Every structure is written in C-alpha cells, then in structure tokens.
Structure 1
Amino acid sequence: MITHIYMVRHAESPFTPDQEEGRGLSEKGWADARKVADRLKPEQIDVFISSNYARALQTIEEAARQQNQAIITEPRFRERELASWDYPFADFEQGIKQVFDNPSFAYPGGESNEVAQERGIAALKDVLDHHRGKKIVIGTHGNIMTIMINHYDKQYDFAFWKKTTKPDIYKLSFDEDTLVNVKRLWE
C-alpha cells in the first residue's frame, strides 16, 4: 500500500531571532502560499499536518482550507535548533555545513543532526502508521525536512538543502515504511 507524504518547506518569512515559533510569512511568502495551495489542489490531500511554527502553518493553511481539512499540529516537525540564539556564527551557512558533515556534533544550545533526525523520523513514522495509503501534507522547514529524507537516502544532504527554496514541495512515496520515490513538485 503506497502512502504519499508531501513535505512542504515554508515560504519566505522575515528573520527575527526572538520570535522563532511565532515568525510569520512575508508578503511574498503569503503570495507563494497561495501558489502552494494551487499546486496541491489536484493531489486531493487527505490529511494536513504541520510544525507548530507559524510560518509552516501559514504556508499550508490555504491548501487545507481549499480542501476543507483541518491542520493537525505536530511540534516534532519544527525546525532543528542549530544553536542558542546568542551563539556568534561567523558564517551561518558554514555552521549548517558543519552539522551535516558531522551528524553527532551540536553547537551550544543546539541539536545535532542525529538528535533532530531521531525526533523528525519518530514523528514521520507515527504519520505513516496512522495514515497508511493516504496523501498527507506536512508543513515543515528546510533543515529538518532534509535531515528526515536523508534518513532514507543519503544523497539528501547539505548540497540538497542548499538547493531547496522557500517554499518547496517534495512528494515522498512510501511502500509501507520504505521510501520508493522522491519527486519535487515545486518549480
């Protein structure tokens, strides 16, 4: 039985370090969220689940409304904690590369890729167990999305993360618990 998971990376959101959970979409982000809804409409989604962060919820809320569905929040799909907010990154992208190159490494106050992956995969397995054979949208974030897909296929790494956009959509097809296909739906 095939289950389809649509990982939706959130749309553009202005960065404000003190409001990670409540940070919403920019004007461009809202316009792109409407495009996400248009792109997902023909897929006939059965279930909508999202990180509890505002930008992830807002990115899929129009799609859920159009398909007359509620959004279930799942905090385990939130973005990974890279480091405490006061950690002085000289180069943010290089900081992300460091944790992808060294999966057990964590910055002070942050999660390693291994820890974040364990959290995300536990949530994803729960979704697969409870919604077999369905089409499920998961509103999420770039790092955690990449880390979760990487659990199944190692080619989804730092270089993949760098190529993702805000928003982005990846359709993951599972035969039971085995990932059998990944297709990008956002272009």
Structure 2
Amino acid sequence: MDKRVYLVRHCEAEGQSIQSPLTLNGMKQSEHLCDFFSNISIQKIITSPFLRAVQTIKPLSKKLDIEIEIDKRLSERTLSSKHLPDWFDKLKATFEDMDLTFEGGESSSDAAQRIVNVLESVLNENTNNIIIVTHGNILSLLIKKFDEHFGFEEWKNLSNPDVYLLTLSKEHHQIERLWKGN
C-alpha cells in the first residue's frame, strides 16, 4: 500500500521566532486546514516544535483525537546566526549551492537531510496517512529531493498555509500541491 505524507507549511504567523504565534488570520486558516483534512483518514501528526507549527495543526489534532508528536528536526533552518540585511539573496544562493553555509547557519544539504531523516523514520512505521507540519524553507528542501526543479522561485510561491502530498511506494513517488489558497 502507498504511504501518503501530507507536508504542511504552517499558517500565517506574527513573526519568525520560535514562540511566534499565529495571527488571527492564521488561526482562521488553521480551522480551514482542519476542514481540508476532514475526509482524510490521518493516522499520525508530527510537527516542528515552533509555536506557529503546533498551533497550525492543533484544531485537527483535537478533532481527530490524535496526539501531536513534536520533532525538533522539523524546525526551520537557520540561515545564519548573524543578521543578514541581504538574507533574501543569501537564501537564493543556498538553493543554487546546496553546501553553501553562512556563519552559524546550516547548509541546504544539512537541513534537507534533517527532514529526510524524519520522513525515513515514518516510512518505516505501520502508518499510511501522515501529516508533517514544518516551515517554508525546510519544506522546500524536502520537496526538492523529490522534484529537482523545485527551487527558490517555487519557495517564493509557497503560501501560508500550504499542503503538498508525497505519495510513496516501492516502485515510485509522486509529489503534488493540494492547497488551493486561503
């Protein structure tokens, strides 16, 4: 049987820190996300420890009575420990050179490996419909593993929230965007 992994980018948040909550609009979006998944038999929910990611999936978790599993490997990637006024250009460069790192930061390759490790661990479990909630940059890096054409421009076009379905079997894989906006 195919494994279906729903890759979710968190809803609209008030900021980028670990404790940044969802905005009022983000809370509404999380309710829409709950409705979106209402006819899908979800067996497991794993999320980044960032507050905005947990709040994104909490309504669905409550509705389905599924405990949220926190996995720090789903945390957003740190581009640099220093303030980068030109962070946008630096981020673009890390899509072109996956091993590029900035002071105190993590390369795209290393960040991608973190989320791939999460994916590999759930693929070895006896669950078929899994939700993984994470952040835009690290989500993009995972998608890029399955679609080499996914890059910086596609990252820029992600929405908050966003949902991709990764379908995996022994013979093939398929990734498709499911979310059609807010």
User: Taking structure 2 as the reference length, what is the TM-score of the superposition?
Assistant: 0.93
Task: Tell me which residue corresponds to 1:165.
Answer: 159
Q: Deviations over 1:55-107 (max 9, x none)?
A: 111101101111111111111111111111xx232233222101111110011
Distance 1:105 1:50 in 2: 26
Q: Would you say 1:75 and 2:72 are equivalent positions?
A: yes
Deviation at 1:11, TM superposition (A): 0.7
TM-superposed deviation, 1:178: 4.3
Q: Closer, same or farther in 2 for the Cα pair 1:144/1:178, shift >3 Å?
A: farther
Q: Distance in 2 between matches of 1:176 and 1:77?
A: 24
Match of 2:34 among 10, 34, 37: 37
Q: Determine if contact 1:128/1:177 at 8 Å carries over to the other structure.
A: no
The structure-2 alpha-carbon separation of the partners of 1:30 and 1:77, relative to structure 1 and needing over 3 Å to count, comes to same
Query: Quick check: 1:7–1:137 contact (8 Å CA) kept in 2?
Result: yes
1:138 — aligned with what?
132
In structure 2, relative to structure 1, the CA distance for the partners of 1:129 and 1:178 (3 Å cut) is farther
CA distance in 1, matches of 2:144, 2:173: 11
Calculate the TM-score normalised by the size of structure 1.
0.91
Superposition pairs of residues 10-89 of structure 1, within 5 angstroms: 10-15=10-15, 20-84=17-81, 87-89=82-84
User: SS of the residue aligned with 1:139?
Assistant: strand
Are 1:44 and 1:67, in contact at CA under 8 Å, matched by a contact in 2?
no
Structure 2: unaligned runs, 5 residues or longer: none
Secondary structure at 2:38 match in 1: helix
The residue matched to 1:108 in structure 2 has which SS? coil
Q: Find 1:125's aligned residue among 115, 120, 127.
A: 120
- What is the total number of aligned residue pairs between the two structures? 181
Per-residue CA distance 1:12-53 (angstroms, 9 max, x = gap): 11125xxx2222111111111111111011112111111111
SS at match of 1:127: helix
Q: Which runs of 4+ in 1 moved over 4 A?
A: none
The gaps in structure 1 that reach 5 residues or longer are none
Seq. identity, %: 28
Seen in structure 2, the aligned counterparts of structure 1 residues 107 and 92 have a Cα distance that, compared at 3 Å, is same
Q: Residues 15 and 21 of structure 2 are in contact (CA less than 8 Å); yes or no, is this contact kept in structure 1?
A: no
Q: What SS does the corresponding residue of 1:143 show, helix, strand or coil?
A: helix
What CA deviation, in whole Å up to 9, does each residue of 1:154-187 have, x standing for no partner? 1121111111011111111111484224232343
CA RMSD of aligned residues (A): 1.5
